[in-house]
Structures are given as structure tokens and as C-alpha cells.
Amino acid sequence: MGMAATYDQKVFCRQALIGGNYGLLNATTFIPNPDYYGALLWHRLMGSIVLAVTKESYPDLRVYAHCAKKKPGVSVIFINLSKYRSFNITLSNLNSKDAGKLNFEFVGKQNREEYHLTSLFGKMKGGIVCLNDVPMVQTGSRDIPAMDPRLVDASTPISVSAQSIAYVTIRDFEAPACV
């Protein structure tokens, strides 16, 4: 979804909601597969305005940023494809007022909102994903569990563990495109 949005793709259609090679829902039980939670976070957090992102050359780390959805700020998704390497990330903002010459490190004043998706017990082919270390399993009434963010001091680096996805929303990161 991130790559499609970067190239101004307006619509993204999943292969299958149910069935197919790997639908968002289990075809027999209708219980969400792990990808469902990533897609749901994308839908809830990522706005329609895509922001340019540059990063150091780490081929195992994918980064996409959008204006936050329905609220002020910027939402960023980090996808760590490495089996072993974790990343500690510091954000910076390139200010275009001085023809791109003023580059400053971003240090927010508000806590940022983080959603970390990892596999349960490190089993990448398991059927359960964890959000902020909490297994995402339906409640007794078959509802989707609460998907609350972890609030993190904005002055600290963003930590993205190996083989994980992190959605980060920074409410006081001012991107001119998001005003």
C-alpha cells in the first residue's frame, strides 16, 4: 500500500477478503489473519496525502509517510524485513524555506503514538500477530480487540525490531503539505 501510494495510486484492492491464497479473513472461521491488523491500522492512521521520505541506505527497511488521517500530524510506517537487525530511527525534517539548506532534527514535545506489529513468539508463519506485545485475538463476543497505541516520549529514537512493522503518528510534526 505504501509503494502504491508513493506512485499516486488512488485505489488499492486486496487479492481477496476471504479465500484465495491468503485472504484478510480465514475462509472457514472468518477470524482475521495477521495481515488484517496491518491493513486496519493503515486505514485508521494513514491519510491520503503522501509525503516524500528519504532514508539512509538500508535495503531491509521500508519507510512511508503520509499526513495523519482526520487529525493533525504525520503518520509513518516502518517495515523491517531483516531477520536479525533492529533499527533505532531519528526523524528529521527538511525545511524548504531556505531552498532546502536548513536540515534539522525533529524533537517533538508531545508523546508520539506507536503501534508495533510483531509475530507471536517470533513465529513468522503463525496465525497470530501481536500489537505492542499483546496478541490480537478476537474477544469473547468475536469483536476485534482494542488497538491502542503505545505513547512514547517524542525525544527518543523510534525502535523497530527485526521482522516487524511499526506505525508511528507524530501529532506535532508539522509538514507544510499537511496544514
Ramachandran area for residue 6 (φ above 0: left; ψ -120 to 50: alpha; else beta): alpha
Mean pLDDT taken over the chain: 80
SS (H, E, C) the chain: CHHHHHCCCCCCCCCCCECCCCCCECCCCCCECHHHHHHHHHHHHEEEEEECCCCCCCCCEEEEEEEECCCCCEEEEEEECCCCCCEEECCEEEEHHHCCCEEEECCCCCCEEEEEEEEHHHCCCCCCEEECCEECCCCCCCCCCCCCCEEECCCCCEEECCCEEEEEEECCCCCHHHC
| Mean local confidence (pLDDT), 4-8 | 56
Looking at mean pLDDT, say which of 3-17, 78-92, 132-146 comes out highest: 78-92
pLDDT at 139: 75
pLDDT in tens, 79-106: 999 999 999 998 776 544 444 444 444 5
State how far the Cα of 93 lies from the Cα of 105, in Å rounded to an integer. 6
Looking at mean pLDDT, say which of 99-108, 140-149, 170-179 comes out highest: 140-149
Q: Which domain holds residue 51?
A: 2-178
Number of structural domains in the chain = 1
The CATH number covering residue 140 comes to 2.60.40.1180
| Mean local confidence (pLDDT), 112-122 | 91
pLDDT at 121: 76
**Contact between 73 and 172 (Cβ < 8 Å):** yes
